Amino acid sequence: MTNNSLRNGLLALLTGLLLSCGGGGSSSSSSSSSGAGSAAFGSAGIAGLTTESLGGGGGTSDGQGGSSSGTDGGSTTASSGDDGSGVGSGGTGVSTADAAGIGGVDGAGSIIVSGLRYDTDTAVINLEDAASLQLGMSVKVSGPVNADFTSGTARRVDSAADIRGPLSSVDLAQGSFVVMGTTVTTDNATVWADAAGLAAIAPNTTLQVWGLPAAPGVLRATRVEQHGPSAPILTGTVQNLDQARRTFTLGSFVVDYSVAALSGSPDGRPPANGTLVRVRANIALPGRLPATLVQWWYPVPTANATQVQLAGVVTDYAGLGSLRVLGTPVDASSAQITGGPAGSVGNGVKVDVAGTMSNGILKATKLKIRHIPGTGGPASFTLIGAIGNFSSASSFWVRGQLVNAGGPGVVFVNGSASNLGNGVRVSVEGAQVVDGVLIATRVSFDS
């Protein structure tokens, strides 16, 4: 732990020195087969929230271009500014009274998680398994938010991949696939970083997936990347815990944690049945995973009156007054319900919930329905910033994300497609990210 902290601190310091001396590269785009950074993003990533790679190529202020390789198992902690320049200075710790937001990244400017926009000027950024923060990655954001959960100030942003392993089977009709014995489901908000969709991915391809744990053995994908063969990662709900043998099951795998390090327990306790964890290993054996690290999966604070916002799939539904999201008990009986009728909430429905903790239960004041199985739901990604690397309405960058606003039916507000160009500040909304490109449905020009 001490060596990792020292290494991470030196990395951040050296990167800052390089940047202060004019480090950086050109704005030409590049692709990465490793999955550490997709073709759609440069080293700066979303709003400059990045794990910088010393010696890696730089990008422009909007994050496009360059290349940077992340680590597969390690993490780098750095503070970040919002100017897209990468690692900045400053940074602050996290108070136990800070609010927590957990979900997939659905926007940039600075960062938007489940519709809540956070200022990241002084945030500490802790990324694993990727060089930069990108659309669809699962995250935990810690920091104060306003009363109606629309804006906040991030003190810390944590993100890591949730599953990594070879694609073993596909169900195109259901939009699901199996990796590491876990059924991974998709919806219209799943980001396809470097493929046109599930049908375009070859069998046995190693995939790196970010997502939201649902029922045991099931993960809802928020981002899918192709990746070179590397050490496995598995996330899920602990079941069949045997403390004597130091084993438990995740999906169809028996996890042996007899020599594993344990990390992130909010109260110092060992794993228990029902705990959400992320497991890392050097190798996966048939039906068995010899763990090297067991991490608590974005633990939710339980202190009374703590503000919490969660994006996830409903489980254990017994009515609006008793359900779970990401394993957390939720009472939404008094919540404002949006995105669909209250009667449509049930197991398997993807939702955003926000409220305050009371005796270990999230007393929700807001519940937004995001996806109903078989019906669908609104998927919205938002980018707020200046246009860079403008080629045409069908190809430009905002906040490190490639955008296509040249399709039919795109709505332009306070301008038209002819007003698009480098340096123009816009808000871009889109419903899908396919092959690393945000398909815009609405572009608003700053007035």
Annotate 365-398 with b (16+ C-beta within 10 A) or e (fewer): bbbbbbbbbeeebebbbbbbbbbbbeeebeebbb
Longest dimension (CA), the chain: 68
Q: What's the average model confidence in pLDDT over 3-32? A: 39
Residues 330-342: tens digit of each pLDDT: 999 999 999 999 9
Work out the percent of the chain whose per-residue pLDDT is above 70: 79
Per-residue confidence (pLDDT) for residue 208, from 0 to 100: 98
Residues 113-172: tens digit of each pLDDT: 988 999 999 999 999 999 999 999 999 999 999 999 999 999 999 999 999 999 999 999
Which residues contact residue 341 at a Cβ distance below 8 angstroms, ignoring those fewer than 6 apart? none
C-alpha 365/C-alpha 356 separation (Å) is 8
How does DSSP assign 102-158, residue by residue? EEEEEEETTEEETTEEEE-TTEEEEEESSSB--TT-EEEEES-B-TTSSEEE-SEEE
Which residues contact residue 368 at a Cβ distance below 8 angstroms, ignoring those fewer than 6 apart? 114, 115, 337, 338, 339, 351, 352, 353
Residues 356-373: tens digit of each pLDDT: 999 999 999 999 999 998
The CA distances from residue 413 to 381, 410, 427, 442, in Å, are: 17, 10, 10, 8
Average pLDDT, the chain: 83
Residues 40-92: tens digit of each pLDDT: 333 357 756 654 322 233 333 344 433 333 445 545 444 433 333 222 223 33
C-alpha 401/C-alpha 346 separation (Å) is 34
Contact (Cβ atoms closer than 8 angstroms) between residue 182 and residue 251: yes
CB atoms within 10 A of CB 167: 21
Per-residue confidence (pLDDT) for residue 13, from 0 to 100: 40
Q: Is the whole model's pTM more than 0.85, yes or no?
A: no
Q: What's the average model confidence in pLDDT over 414-436? A: 96
DSSP at 159? E
Q: Which of residues 375 and 305 earns the better pLDDT score? A: 305
Per-residue confidence (pLDDT) for residue 273, from 0 to 100: 96
